Structure 1
Amino acid sequence: MVRFKSRYLLCELCVSEPSSLHLFEDKVVYQALRGAVNRAHGDYGAAIFNITLGVLVKYLNAHTGVVLIRCRKAHYRLVWSSLPFITFLENRGQKVRCFFNCIHVGGTIRTSQKFLIKYNRQQLQRMLLDCKTDAEKQDVRKAILSCSLNLIKGEETDGSDDDGDEEDT
């Protein structure tokens, strides 16, 4: 059996109006990505995208604007180089100006998730510096602690399952 190696592009969807993020679906991002690859790389990009690229939008969070795109390892640079050519997304007759900020390229979904946790924690630390009132600072500190505690609990449960002993089946 053949195993296809993949790369996961973790992108941040930046829009001018944050309220318009709820309009987007996976297929809208996929169609925009296909069009961008076609425009940037011509017939070669269109052929690779349709036949062998194996592009799939695995995750789209409408609240935070985080997008996880899976593509084949051999052609992930083709997709990555096409991201700047996406200047708007169209859904239900509405065009929303946007751009994709690729923040991480990983080999697995798990490494992308771990990076996203670290990235969000760093963003919360930056937000803490911009807080004006004590109530805002307390809310941000609570959010930082919730990220940290979830990460520590997740690592403890992962480590407790593997105690080094292997069983013969």
Structure 2
Amino acid sequence: MVRFKNRYFLCEIISEDLHFQQSIDEWAVHNTVKNVVARMHGDFGLACCSIAFSVKYLNAYTGIVLLRCRKDFHRLLWSSLPFITHLESRNERYRCSFNTLHVGATMRTCQKFLIHHNRNQLLVLLRNCTSEADRQAIQKSVQSCKFVGEEQYNSEDEESKDEESDDSMK
């Protein structure tokens, strides 16, 4: 039996429209990405990327999307993503762009990267925080960021990084 290898693209959908979050769905992302691949690479690129292409995860509130395609043709998809300028959903067109955060071989590696990315984003929010109540709420969120089943960090290097970042935020 042959195992087909896939690549997973963890992307962030960036849009200035507030109504965009309420109307985004998996089919809109799926169709938009396939249309852009067809526009950039023609029928050959569309056929190659359509074999195992799917939207595995979409969080409309954060704008995070996880796309899957075959390993052999992932460069066709990767080179097409910067050319997405809008999404069409429910007969409306929303201006947006895709920011590729991570390309991984498994969904698990993408999930781990997303947790670390979100944790870093929370730390940035913590630095810009003005009130003490907000600061404590964000610190609690940062401490709760971990992968299910992931062991606690035991490395002294990572503990020292956390201590340094906590000291720099005070």
Scaled by the length of structure 2, what TM-score is found?
0.84
SS in 2 for 1:16: coil
Alignment of 1:16-31 (within 5 A): 16-31=16-31
**Does residue 1:43 correspond to 2:38, yes or no?**
no
Runs of at least 4 residues off by over 6 Å: none
Deviations 1:44-101 (A, max 9, x none): 2123234x3x111000011111100000001111101100111100111111110110
Partner AA of 1:42 in structure 2: G
State the 1:156 CA deviation: 4.1
SS in 2 for 1:154: coil
The aligned residue for residue 89 of structure 1 is: 87
Distance in 1, matches of 2:23 and 2:131, equals 33
Deviations 1:9-44 (A, max 9, x none): 000111112442121111110100011001111232
The aligned residue for residue 74 of structure 1 is: 72
Which consecutive residues of structure 2, in runs of 5 or more, have no partner in the other structure?
153-170
What is the alpha-carbon root mean square deviation over aligned residues? 1.6
SS in 1 for 2:96: strand
Partner AA of 2:126 in structure 1: L
Counting matched residue pairs gives 152
The aligned residue for residue 108 of structure 1 is: 106
SS in 2 for 1:2: coil
SS in 1 for 2:150: helix
Residue identity (%)? 49
Distance in 2, matches of 1:63 and 1:75, equals 29
Distance in 2, matches of 1:77 and 1:49, equals 10
